Amino acid sequence: MTPLPAQGGTTAGTTAVLLAAGAGIRLGLGPKALLPFRGRTLVEVLADALLDGGCREVVVVLGAGAETVRKVPGLQRHTVVENPDWQTGMGSSFKLGLGTARPQDHVLVALVDQPGLTPETVSRLLKAHRPGRVTAAAYRRHPGSERPGDLRRGHPLLLDATLRAEAAASATGDAGARLFLQAHPELIDLVACTPPPGSGQPGGKDLDTPDQLHLLD
């Protein structure tokens, strides 16, 4: 898995899937989608970041608290679907999202618990994507390191249209694309997306527990 620079791929034909079905049990504040962020809700800000970064459509997959989340004004410009099986884990939401995206599109998968997602990150992945490949955002384990092996694969994750069916078929339980990626490491291109030192941006960090609420600052 070799890190790649941005290199003139395509921004057309990509649907984003934002997985936002979880109940946020570990965080203890209800669905993460509804967390206040930049004067709106987290799900609104991240859905707009995906669209502003170059995806032509955003599919938002809801589960816990779907009736409330669906009423958020900023989601009206996006495609919203509800996963009745969200309690079975991310796999079912992943399948639903891929199945809802335009059939011929590449799919960029993002998580609602990563407030560091920016349009710039999305644009970087779209431009770096190569046909038949998986393009994944990667982040430095150690700030300031320049070693290729220091990159950790994360989200967003851009699946080529030709890989969608196999990736969806492998999803189960709490595993979305994970099992597919483990089976095909040779298909993955990493794109360095670590924020500049001193920027204060959280990058690809997940918001899982109360001690991480500072990521919303």
Which one, of 50, 182, 59, lies nearest residue 122 by Cα?
50
Ramachandran bin of 60, using left for φ above 0, alpha for ψ from -120 to 50, beta for the remaining angles: beta
pLDDT in tens, the chain (217 residues): 433 333 344 444 999 999 999 988 888 788 899 999 999 999 999 999 999 999 999 999 999 999 999 999 999 999 999 999 999 999 999 999 999 999 999 999 999 999 999 999 999 999 999 999 999 999 877 666 666 667 889 999 999 999 999 999 999 999 999 999 999 999 999 999 987 765 667 778 888 888 888 888 8
Say what the pLDDT of residue 128 is: 96
Q: What is the predicted pLDDT for the residue at 198?
A: 58
CB environment 102-118: b (16+ within 10 A), e (fewer):
eeebbbbbbbbbbbbbb
CA 153 to chain centre: 12
pLDDT at 102: 93
Q: CB of 34 within 8 A of CB of 21? A: no
pTM for this model (two decimals) = 0.89
Res 205: pLDDT: 84
As a whole number of angstroms, the distance between CA 144 and CA 55 comes to 30
Cβ atoms of 157 and 184 within 8 Å: the answer is no
- Element housing 15 (H / E): strand 14-20
pLDDT of 203 reads 76
Q: What is the pLDDT of residue 142?
A: 65
Task: Specify the residue for token string 């349009």.
Answer: 119
C-alpha closest to that of 52 among 37, 74, 19: 74
Q: What is the pLDDT of residue 25?
A: 81
Alpha helices (H) in 17-104, listed in sequence order:
42-52, 66-69, 90-100
As given in the structure block, the two tokens for residue 96 are 């639903």
Q: Domains (ranges, CATH) in the chain?
A: 3-216 (3.90.550.10)
